[in-house]
Amino acid sequence: MTLFESVFAGNDAVYGLTEGAINQAIEKYGADKAVSFPDTAYSLPCYYAVTGTKVGTLAELKDALAVVKTLMTREKRTNDVFMSGVATALCAEFIEVLKYIDGAVPYEAPCYGHLADAVIRELGVPLVTGDIPGVAVILGSAPTTEEGVALVKSYQAQGILVTLVGGIIDQVAEAGMKTGANVRVIPLGKDVTSVVHVVSVAIRAALIFGNVTPGDAGTLMKYTMDRVPAFVNAFKPLDDVIVACGAGAIALGFPVVTNETENIFRVPKSLIVQEDVSKFNATSLEARDIKIKITNIDIPVAFASAFEGEIIRRKDMQVEFDGSRVDCAELVQTCDASEIEDHKITVIGPEVDEMEFGSKNSIAYVVKVAR
C-alpha cells in the first residue's frame, strides 16, 4: 500500500464513522438539536477556521460533513493527501463534539478533552512569544513505560507544552507522574480522535493571536506552520487512521516522528522514521527547527519553568525550612578573592536525609562573595 492509499483509506474510515455518528445523533435528538464545544466562542473551532462557517445544530453538522467530503479528492498528488488529512481532522472534531451534547462531560481526570478559550489565551501568549518553545503531541504507547515517561520529562524540562493521546496517558499515570495544564503536561484522551483538541489549540491561537480570518485556510496553515512550533511523536504500530491524522498534522506544518518501520513512507522534514525512542526529542526539535539551550542540573527531581509558582503539598515534602514557622537566617559577606574557595559548600549539622521525615527545621546560610 502506498502513502496515498494509506491516507485515503484512513480518511474514508473516519468519514464513515463520522457519518454514522451524526445520523445516530439526529435519530436520537432531532436535527435541530444544538451542538457545540463548551466554553468557546468558535463552536467547532477547526471547521470554523477552515471554512468560515459556524455550526450550531446537528442539521448544520450534517451539512458541514458534505463540505468535508469535497476535500476528499483522490488524485495521487501531495495536495490531495494533505487535504484528506485536514478532512480527517475535521471528521475527528465532529465525532468529538457529539460527545458534548446536552452539556455532557465526556472526559474524566486526568484527561482534558476540549480546552476552553480561557486556557488557549493563557497558553497562547507564552506560545507566540516563545516562552513556550514548542508543542509536543505524543500519540500511542511507548515501547516501555520508562521510555515514555523519559520522553515526556525531557520535553517538560525544556519548557515545551506536552499533550498526550492514547496509551501514553496510562503509562505516565502508572509512573505516578504529575500532569495538568499547570505543569504543561496535558492528557487529552484515549481515543485517537481526541488528538483534534490540540489541533484546536493551534488553530484558535491563529484566530486569537494571529488575527487570521475564518475561512482563509491558506493563511491559517501558513500561520500554524510559521508561528505554532508543534510536532507529533507517534509510537508504532501506525494504522491507516493514524497515518491520515498525521497527514493533517503535516498540512498544518507539524512534522511527524515515528518508530514505525513497516509500510511507512518517509517524507523529508515531515514524516520521519526514528527507531530509537530516546532520540525522538532531538529529532523532533531538529525537524521543527526549535533551538533550546538547557543547562543540565543533576538533581533527583523534575525541574522546569513549567513548575514556576507551583505549590508543594505537605505530603510531598521531605523536610521543611520556613522562616515564618521556625528561626531561619541568611548572612552574605563580601571578602577578598584570596579568602574564598570557589564552589566550596560546608554543611554544619545533619544532612536533609538524616532529618525526621516531615519535620520543620531551622536553617542558616552564610555566603561569602568575592569583592
pLDDT of residue 301: 65
Can you tell me whether residue 191 is helix, strand or coil? coil
pLDDT of residue 310: 65
295-349 pLDDT, tens per residue?
666 666 666 665 666 667 777 788 888 777 788 999 999 988 888 888 888 999 9
Can you tell me whether residue 242 is helix, strand or coil? helix
pLDDT of residue 199: 96
For the chain, which ranges sit under pLDDT 70? 294-311
The Cα–Cα gap between 360 and 325 comes to 8
pLDDT of residue 11: 97
pLDDT of residue 352: 87
CB 285, CB 292: distance < 8 Å: yes
CB 5, CB 13: distance < 8 Å: no
pLDDT of residue 302: 62
33-72 pLDDT, tens per residue?
999 999 999 999 999 999 999 999 999 999 999 999 999 9
**CATH code for the domain defined by 3-287:** 3.40.50.2030
Closest to 140 (Cα-Cα) out of 122, 165, 162, 110: 165
User: Count of CB atoms within 10 A of residue 229's CB?
Assistant: 23
| In the chain, domain spans | 3-287, 317-370
pTM above 0.95, yes or no: no
Strand partners, 365: 330
pLDDT of residue 316: 76
pLDDT of residue 364: 93
Closest to 61 (Cα-Cα) out of 38, 34, 88: 34
pLDDT of residue 324: 78
pLDDT of residue 146: 97
Q: How distant is the alpha carbon of residue 180 from its chain centre?
A: 11
The Cα–Cα gap between 5 and 240 comes to 9
Strands 230-234 and 135-139, how do they pair? parallel
